[in-house]
A and B are shown apart, each in its own frame.
Chain A
Amino acid sequence: MKDLLFPHKFQPIGWCTFIPALVIGILIYFDTFSFLPNWGATAVNDIAIIGIAVGALFIVCSRERIEDEMTRAIRLSSLLNSIYVYVVLLIACTLFINGLNYFYFLTANTVLLPVIFVINFRLEMSRYNKISNDEEQN
């Protein structure tokens, strides 16, 4: 079964897209761009959402430096765990957040799953890398 993964060089491109877009997205919540005209605010929103989504996609769907069956298994397991976390967050926020704040959550919800996936996958990979680094090279 062939994997549809981007080449490894897309990973740094993903980080360079993801982090600035995430920062822009957070700044939007603090009305940092309220000085912009309507079309400008819309453009900033679009850049944030698309940047986070595309950046996250490049980060998790790019080959690792050494891509083998373990990284594929970690990627799949991270995706499953991310879905569980996403659904729990969705239910919790639906129950405990109301009014306009729930609308803000819904806008963040558009990119919540990719963000959780990135965090989950990179945490798992760094955990396995740490275990192998702690193990004596023998």
Chain B
Amino acid sequence: MKNRIKVERAEMDITQQQLADAVGVSRQTIVAIENNRFLPSTPLALKISRYFSKPVESIFILEDTD
């Protein structure tokens, strides 16, 4: 599964730490999600999407191999 968190952060001009604080996780978790090393849970994915005010499907993209 791909995600556009890095792109959305760049558009909002926020750091990984700021996003991590906003959604209640560590910066390591945000880094791991951005690098596709960790799949967020449904609540975390929804929190991230709500933070960016975008639908979850536009932030997290399901791939054919998933």
Number of interface residues of A (CB under 8 A): 14
Size range of the chain B interface in the assembly: 10 to 19
CB <8 Å contact, A69 and B29: yes
CB <8 Å contact, A70 and B38: yes
Measured between alpha carbons, how far is A111 from B60 in the docked complex, in Å? 43
CB <8 Å contact, B32 and A68: no
Say whether B55 faces chain A, with CB atoms less than 8 Å apart.
no
CB <8 Å contact, A138 and B16: yes
Q: What are the residues of chain B within 8 A of A131 when measuring CB–CB?
A: 28, 31-32, 35, 37
Measured between alpha carbons, how far is A70 from B41 in the docked complex, in Å? 9
Q: What are the residues of chain B within 8 A of A69 when measuring CB–CB?
A: 25, 29, 40-41, 44
